[in-house]
C-alpha cells in the first residue's frame, strides 16, 4: 500500500514551501537588537577613504604599534559607500569598532544617540590638542561636548583642470570671482571646445559644497538653529535653481544623465570623465590621489554678485576620529587620536590625505614633502581660511548638522535632478522640497 | 494467513473473526508496536532539533521581533519606543518615496516576470531535443543564472549600459547615438528588467524537466491527425505544462518582489535616478540601515510580506481555473 504522491500535491507543496522560504528570509533579515560593545582583546579601528589614505593610515599605525606594543590594533577600512550602513549594523549587533573615522556631517546624530564617547575629560591629559583652534574643534563638538578630533582643515574649494583651460586658450579665473564669472567662463569652455566640454559640473543639487555657501552669501544658514527645519528661504533656493537651469540651457554644465551618474561615484565625476573643467566636488582631488593626468588647480567658491552679498565660506574639520561609548578601550583610542594629532611620523604619513593638517606645526612638517598640486591645494585652503577670519560679515561656522541631514541633502540632489530631467517645474519642486524637508526634520 | 490450529494463535488482522478480550489486548499491543516502528515517540524530534533551532531561532523569532519593531521607532542605536501604527500610517499617507518604490517594483514585476518566463520556455523548447552535445548548450544557457545574483555581473551591467558602455558602441554601428541608460530615469529600470530576463536559467531548467515528462503518444496521435507545430504547442504542450508554468510563475513573482542586489549595485545604492530603480527591498534597506529607521523598515517588510502573500493567494485561486493536473 504505497502512498502515491500526485503531481497536484507535489507542485502545490513545492510552491507553498517556496513561498514560506522566500518570505521568511525577507522578514527575518530585519530583526535584531541592541547589544554590548566588543569584547575582543584587540582594538578595532575603522575608516573610509581611498587607497592612498589606507596606506597612510597603515603606515602611521605601524609606527604607533612599535611604540605601544601592548595595544593590538585591528584595522578595517573601505570606501565611503556603505561605510555607515556597516557601522550602524555593527552597533546594533554589538560589534562596534572602538575607534573610527567619523564624518563631521554625522557626528551630531551619533553623539546625541549616545553612540560616541565624550572626550573632554581626556583633553589636556592623554589627548594633546595643542595648536587646534576653537573654530576647528567646533567640527567635533556637539551640544558643548567634544566627540571627535578633527583631522585637518576642510574648506570648500573648486577643483579646476587648469591644463584643460589652457588648451582652450582660457585663463584661470581670478580668486575673487563671482557666480556670473563662473557662468561666463563655463560658456566659453563650451564654445571653445566646440561643444565637447561643458564648463562646470551641475551642482544645483549640491548641498555642502555648493548651495550652503550660496545661502550663506545671502546671510542664510542651511539648517535652522534648532535643527528642526532648513534655514534658508524658498526665494534663495528658487534663485539657485534658476541659476543652474540657465547654466544647463547654455550648456555651461553637463546634461542631467552625467550629473546623475556622478552621484556617489567619483569615477563618473564630470571632470574625471573629461566632460567639464571645473568641479565643486572636493573629493576629486582632496583625498590626495590624482584622478587624471591633468594639472589641477584650485579656486574658492564664487562670491555673490548682488548687493549685500556676504562671505559664504567657513572652515570645518576634515574628518574626525571618534571613540564609541560601548568600547572598553576608550583610553587607548584617545592615545591613538593624540598620536595622529601630534606625532611627527603620523603627520608625515598622513600628508593631505585627511585634509590640510590642523596645526601650524603639522603644516610646516609636511610642507617640504608635498607635490606641486598638494602645495596649490594647501595654499588655497590657507587663502580661504584667512579670508574667512578677516571677513566681518561671515556667518559663524554652522554647528554639526541635525539628524536627517543626509536625507535633506539627498532630497536637494533629487529635486535638482527632477528639474533638470524636465519632470518637475522649479515652482512645483520648491513646494515639494519644503514640505518634505519639514517632514524629515520634524519641524 | 490461516488461523486453523491453535485458538491462542488468534491473529488480530482478521476482522471477520469475532473478538474476545484477549484478542483485543493482543491487537492493542500490535498497534503500539507498529506505531513505534512507524516513528512515534519523541525520537524524530530529537533528530529534527537542529532544524527546529534554525527555524525558531533564525526565522520565527526574528520575524516576530520585526513584527514588534514595526510598531516602534527603533533606530538601531537606542532602545525601541512603542509608537503604535505610526509607521504604517506614515507609509501610506506621508511618504512619497514609498510610492515611488511601489511603482518601480510593480513595473519591475509585471514586465520582467512574463518576459523571463516566455524566454525560459522558448529556450527550453529549443533545448528539448536529442542533439550532440546538448548538455553543453544547456549548461551555456544556464550560466547567466549562476552568475546572475552576483555583484560582479551587476557591475558589468552598469558598465555595459553606461554612457560610454558597450551597448552604445553596439548602437553606434547602426548610426544610432545612445544615451546613458543607467542614469536616465526613463530607462534605468528597464536595464534591471533586462538583467532579470537574461537570468532565465532556473525556470528554463524546470520547464525542460517538465517537457521531458510529456507523454510522446499524444504528440504522435496529433501528428497523425495533421496538427501543425503551433497547434501542438498551444493545444498539447502548454496545457500539459500548466502545473510547471504555475510553479514558475509563483516562484518568479516572489523572487521579483524581493529583488535587491542588482538595484543596489546598478544605482550605486541610491535607487536613482529619481527613485526610478528604488525597488522595494532597496528602499527597505535604505530606511533600515542608512536612515536608521529600522522600525519603519520592519513595517515596510511586513507590508511586503502581506503583498506577496496576497499575490500568491490570488495565484493559487486563479490557478484552479487554468492549471490542469493529469491525475
Question: Residue A153's pLDDT is what?
Answer: 84
Do A222 and A231 touch, CB atoms closer than 8 A?
Answer: yes
Question: Residue A207's pLDDT is what?
Answer: 80
Q: Testing the interface with B: which of A1, A16, A31, A33 to mutate, by most B Cβ within 10 A? A: A31
The residue in chain A having the minimum alpha-carbon distance to the alpha carbon of residue B295 is A30
- Contacts of residue A401, defined as CB under 8 A and 6 or more positions apart, other chains included, come to A105, A106, A108, A109, A222, A223, A227
On chain A, the residues whose CB falls within 8 A of the CB of B248 are: none
ipTM above 0.85, yes or no: no
State the average pLDDT over residues B207-217: 91
The residue in chain A having the minimum alpha-carbon distance to the alpha carbon of residue B273 is A260
As a whole number of angstroms, the distance between CA B99 and CA A31 comes to 24
Per-domain residue ranges for chain A?
A: 43-152+318-377, 157-312+404-441
State the average pLDDT over residues B254-268: 91
| pLDDT at position A189 over 60 | yes
Question: Residue A290's pLDDT is what?
Answer: 47
| pLDDT at position B5 over 60 | no
CATH fold match for the domains A43-152+318-377 and A157-312+404-441: yes
Question: Residue B241's pLDDT is what?
Answer: 93
The residue in chain B having the minimum alpha-carbon distance to the alpha carbon of residue A273 is B164
Among 2.40.110.10, 3.30.360.10, 3.40.50.1360, 3.40.190.10, name the CATH number for the domain at A43-152+318-377.
Answer: 3.40.190.10
**Which residues lie across from A46 on neighbouring strands?**
A76, A100
Taking only the tens place, the pLDDT of each residue in B283-308 is 999 999 988 899 999 999 999 999 99
The residue in chain B having the minimum alpha-carbon distance to the alpha carbon of residue A17 is B251
Torsions phi, psi of B98, nearest 5? -55, -45
Whether B62 and A32 lie within 8 Å, measured CB to CB: yes
Do A73 and A42 touch, CB atoms closer than 8 A?
Answer: yes
On chain A, the residues whose CB falls within 8 A of the CB of B294 are: 30, 32, 92
Whether A31 and B63 lie within 8 Å, measured CB to CB: yes
| pLDDT at position B158 over 90 | no
- Contacts of residue A364, defined as CB under 8 A and 6 or more positions apart, other chains included, come to none
DSSP A207: I
Question: Residue B8's pLDDT is what?
Answer: 43
Sheet holding A149-150, edge to edge: A73-78, A43-48, A99-103, A319-323, A149-150
Question: How many helices and strands (H and E) does chain B possess?
Answer: 16, 0
Size of interface A-B (CB pairs under 8 A): 167
Q: Which long-range CB contacts under 8 A does A240-243 form with residues at least 24 apart?
A: A240/A204, A240/A211, A240/A214, A240/A215, A241/A204, A241/A415, A241/A416, A241/A419, A241/A426, A241/A429, A241/A430, A242/A426, A243/A179, A243/A183, A243/A204
Whether B325 and A260 lie within 8 Å, measured CB to CB: no
Instruction: Tell me the average pLDDT of chain B.
Output: 86
Taking only the tens place, the pLDDT of each residue in A361-393 is 998 999 888 888 889 988 998 899 889 989 888
Question: Residue B37's pLDDT is what?
Answer: 59
How big is chain A, counted in residues? 443
Nearest-Cα distance to chain B for A358, in Å, is 30
C-alpha cell at A370: 608635498
Question: Residue A226's pLDDT is what?
Answer: 87
Whether A24 and B63 lie within 8 Å, measured CB to CB: yes
| pLDDT at position B214 over 50 | yes
Whether A23 and B308 lie within 8 Å, measured CB to CB: yes
Among 3.40.50.2300, 3.40.190.10, 3.30.465.10, 3.40.718.10, name the CATH number for the domain at A157-312+404-441.
Answer: 3.40.190.10
On chain B, the residues whose CB falls within 8 A of the CB of A88 are: 76-77, 289-290, 292
Question: Residue B135's pLDDT is what?
Answer: 86
Question: Residue B22's pLDDT is what?
Answer: 67
State the average pLDDT over residues B211-232: 89
CA angle A114, A119, A120 (to 5 degrees): 115
As a whole number of angstroms, the distance between CA A36 and CA A40 comes to 12
State the average pLDDT over residues A134-152: 91
On chain B, the residues whose CB falls within 8 A of the CB of A14 are: 247
C-alpha cell at A439: 517632514
As a whole number of angstroms, the distance between CA A184 and CA A187 comes to 5
Question: What are the Cα distances from residue B326, in Å, to A9, A115, A440, B240?
Answer: 12, 62, 57, 8
**Which alpha helices (H) appear in A161-296, and where do they start and end?**
162-167, 179-192, 212-217, 234-249, 256-262, 283-286
Q: How confident is the model at residue B62 (pLDDT cuts 50, 70, 90)?
A: very high
What percent of chain B lies above the pLDDT cut of 90? 49
Taking only the tens place, the pLDDT of each residue in B7-20 is 444 444 444 445 56
On chain A, the residues whose CB falls within 8 A of the CB of B64 are: 31
For residue B273, cis peptide bond before it (omega within 30 degrees of 0)? yes
Cα maximum dimension of chain B: 100
Question: Residue A288's pLDDT is what?
Answer: 46
Q: Exposed (0-12), middle (13-18) or buried (19+): which is B235, by Cβ within 10 Å? A: middle
- Contacts of residue A68, defined as CB under 8 A and 6 or more positions apart, other chains included, come to A335
Instruction: Tell me the average pLDDT of chain A.
Output: 87
Nearest-Cα distance to chain A for B102, in Å, is 16
**Closest CB from B269, B292, B298 relative to A82:** B269
As a whole number of angstroms, the distance between CA B59 and CA B56 comes to 6
Q: What is the CA radius of gyration of chain A?
A: 25
Question: Residue B45's pLDDT is what?
Answer: 86
**Closest CB from A18, A34, A273 relative to B79:** A34
Whether A27 and B58 lie within 8 Å, measured CB to CB: no
CB atoms within 10 A of CB A287: 20
As a whole number of angstroms, the distance between CA A271 and CA A159 comes to 9
Question: Residue A118's pLDDT is what?
Answer: 96
Question: Residue A367's pLDDT is what?
Answer: 87
Candidate from A58-72, A410-424, B134-148 with smallest mean pLDDT: B134-148
CB atoms within 10 A of CB B104: 23
Q: Testing the interface with A: which of B13, B56, B59, B316 to mutate, by most A Cβ within 10 A? A: B59
Highest mean pLDDT out of A92-96, A180-184, B33-37? A180-184
Q: How confident is the model at residue B178 (pLDDT cuts 50, 70, 90)?
A: confident
C-alpha cell at B232: 501542438
The residue in chain B having the minimum alpha-carbon distance to the alpha carbon of residue A422 is B185
State the average pLDDT over residues B244-264: 94
As a whole number of angstroms, the distance between CA B194 and CA B196 comes to 5
Whether B325 and A7 lie within 8 Å, measured CB to CB: yes
State the average pLDDT over residues A259-273: 85
Nearest-Cα distance to chain A for B188, in Å, is 11
**Closest CB from A30, A115, A423 relative to B301:** A30
DSSP, residue by residue, B255-282:
HHHT--HHHHHHTTTS--STTTT--HHH
Taking only the tens place, the pLDDT of each residue in A168-177 is 999 999 999 9
| pLDDT at position A289 over 80 | no
Task: Go through the domains of chain B in sequence order and give each one's CATH number.
Answer: 1-41 (no CATH), 90-322 (1.10.3720.10)
Whether B185 and A423 lie within 8 Å, measured CB to CB: yes
Q: Give the SS3 label for residue B160.
A: helix
Whether B250 and A24 lie within 8 Å, measured CB to CB: no
The residue in chain B having the minimum alpha-carbon distance to the alpha carbon of residue A403 is B291
Whether A85 and B290 lie within 8 Å, measured CB to CB: yes
Q: Testing the interface with A: which of B80, B292, B301 to mutate, by most A Cβ within 10 A? A: B292
Whether B76 and A258 lie within 8 Å, measured CB to CB: no
Q: How confident is the model at residue A299 (pLDDT cuts 50, 70, 90)?
A: very high
Amino acid at each position: 500500500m504505497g502512498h502515491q504522491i500526485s503531481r497536484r500535491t507535489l507542485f502545490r507543496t513545492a510552491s507553498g514551501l517556496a513561498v514560506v522560504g522566500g518570505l521568511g528570509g525577507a522578514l527575518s533579515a530585519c530583526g535584531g537588537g541592541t547589544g554590548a560593545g566588543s569584547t575582543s582583546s584587540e582594538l578595532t579601528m575603522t575608516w573610509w577613504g581611498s587607497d592612498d589614505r589606507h596606506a597612510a593610515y597603515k603606515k602611521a599605525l605601524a609606527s604607533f604599534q612599535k611604540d605601544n606594543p601592548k595595544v593590538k590594533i585591528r584595522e578595517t577600512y573601505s570606501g565611503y559607500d556603505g561605510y555607515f550602513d556597516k557601522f550602524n549594523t555593527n552597533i546594533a549587533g554589538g560589534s562596534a569598532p572602538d575607534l573610527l573615522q567619523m564624518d563631521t556631517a554625522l557626528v551630531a546624530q551619533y553623539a546625541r544617540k549616545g553612540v560616541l564617547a565624550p572626550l573632554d575629560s581626556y583633553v589636556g591629559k592623554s589627548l594633546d590638542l595643542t595648536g587646534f583652534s576653537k573654530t576647528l574643534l567646533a567640527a567635533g563638538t556637539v551640544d558643548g561636548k567634544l566627540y571627535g578630533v578633527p583631522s585637518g582643515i576642510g574648506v570648500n574649494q573648486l577643483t579646476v583642470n587648469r591644463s584643460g583651460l589652457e588648451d582652450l586658450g582660457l585663463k584661470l579665473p581670478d580668486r575673487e570671482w563671482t557666480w556670473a564669472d563662473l557662468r561666463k567662463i563655463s560658456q566659453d569652455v563650451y564654445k571653445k571646445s566646440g561643444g565637447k566640454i561643458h564648463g562646470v559640473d551641475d551642482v544645483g543639487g549640491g548641498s555642502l559644497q555648493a548651495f550652503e555657501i550660496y545661502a550663506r552669501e545671502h546671510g542664510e544658514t542651511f539648517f535652522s538653529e534648532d535643527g528642526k527645519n532648513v534655514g534658508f528661504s524658498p526665494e534663495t533656493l528658487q534663485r539657485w535653481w534658476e541659476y543652474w537651469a540657465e547654466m544647463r540651457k547654455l550648456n555651461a554644465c553637463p546634461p542631467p544623465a552625467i550629473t546623475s551618474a556622478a552621484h556617489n561615484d567619483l569615477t563618473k565625476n564630470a571632470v574625471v570623465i573629461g566632460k567639464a573643467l571645473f568641479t565643486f566636488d572636493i573629493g576629486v582631488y582632496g583625498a590626495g590621489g590624482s584622478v587624471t593626468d591633468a594639472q589641477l588647480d584650485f579656486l574658492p567658491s564664487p562670491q555673490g554678485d548682488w548687493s549685500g552679498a556676504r562671505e559664504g565660506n567657513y572652515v570645518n574639520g576634515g574628518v574626525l576620529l571618534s571613540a564609541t561609548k560601548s568600547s572598553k578601550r576608550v583610553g587607548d583610542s584617545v592615545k591613538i587620536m593624540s598620536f595622529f594629532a601630534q606625532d611627527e611620523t603620523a603627520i608625515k604619513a598622513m600628508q593631505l590625505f585627511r585634509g590640510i593638517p590642523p596645526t601650524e606645526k603639522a603644516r610646516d612638517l609636511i610642507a617640504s614633502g608635498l607635490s606641486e598640486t598638494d602645495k596649490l591645494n594647501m595654499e588655497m585652503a590657507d587663502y580661504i581660511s584667512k579670508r574667512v577670519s578677516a571677513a566681518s560679515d561671515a556667518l559663524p561656522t554652522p554647528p554639526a548638522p541635525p539628524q536627517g541631514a543626509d536625507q535633506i541633502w539627498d532630497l536637494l540632489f533629487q529635486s535638482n535632478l527632477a528639474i533638470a530631467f524636465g519632470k518637475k517645474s522649479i515652482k512645483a519642486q520648491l513646494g515639494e522640497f519644503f514640505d518634505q524637508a519639514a517632514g524629515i526634520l520634524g519641524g | 494467513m490461516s488461523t486453523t490450529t491453535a485458538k491462542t494463535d488468534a491473529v488480530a488482522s482478521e476482522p471477520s473473526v469475532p473478538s474476545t478480550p484477549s484478542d483485543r489486548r493482543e491487537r492493542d499491543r500490535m498497534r503500539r508496536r507498529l506505531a513505534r516502528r512507524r516513528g512515534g515517540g519523541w525520537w524524530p524530534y530529537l533528530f529534527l532539533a537542529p532544524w527546529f533551532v534554525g527555524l525558531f531561532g533564525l526565522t520565527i523569532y526574528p520575524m516576530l521581533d520585526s513584527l514588534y519593531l514595526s510598531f516602534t521607532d527603533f533606530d538601531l542605536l537606542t532602545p525601541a519606543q512603542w509608537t503604535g501604527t505610526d509607521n504604517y500610517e506614515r507609509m501610506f499617507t506621508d511618504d512619497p518615496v514609498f510610492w515611488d518604490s511601489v511603482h518601480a517594483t510593480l513595473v519591475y514585476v509585471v514586465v520582467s516576470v512574463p518576459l523571463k518566463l516566455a524566454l525560459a520556455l522558448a529556450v527550453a523548447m529549443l533545448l528539448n531535443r536529442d542533439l550532440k552535445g546538448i548538455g553543453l548548450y544547456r549548461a551555456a544557457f544556464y550560466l547567466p543564472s549562476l552568475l546572475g545574483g552576483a555583484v560582479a555581473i551587476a557591475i558589468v551591467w552598469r558598465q555595459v549600459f553606461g554612457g560610454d558602455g558597450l551597448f552604445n558602441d553596439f548602437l553606434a554601428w547602426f548610426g544610432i547615438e545612445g544615451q546613458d541608460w543607467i542614469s536616465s530615469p526613463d530607462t534605468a529600470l528597464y536595464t534591471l528588467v533586462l538583467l532579470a530576463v537574461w537570468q532565465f536559467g532556473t525556470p528554463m531548467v524546470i520547464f525542460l524537466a517538465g517537457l521531458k515528462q510529456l507523454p510522446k503518444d499524444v504528440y504522435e496521435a496529433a501528428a497523425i491527425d495533421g496538427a501543425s507545430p503551433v497547434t501542438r504547442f498551444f493545444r498539447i504542450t502548454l496545457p500539459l505544462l500548466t502545473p510547471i508554468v504555475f510553479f514558475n510563475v509563483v516562484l518568479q513573482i516572489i523572487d521579483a518582489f524581493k529583488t535587491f542586489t542588482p538595484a543596489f549595485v546598478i544605482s550605486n545604492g541610491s535607487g536613482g535616478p529619481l527613485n526610478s530603480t528604488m525597488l522595494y527591498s532597496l528602499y527597505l534597506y535604505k530606511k533600515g540601515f542608512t536612515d536608521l529607521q529600522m522600525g519603519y523598515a520592519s513595517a515596510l517588510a511586513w507590508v511586503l510580506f502581506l503583498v506577496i502573500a496576497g499575490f500568491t493567494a490570488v495565484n493559487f485561486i486563479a490557478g484552479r481555473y487554468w492549471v490542469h493536473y493529469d491525475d
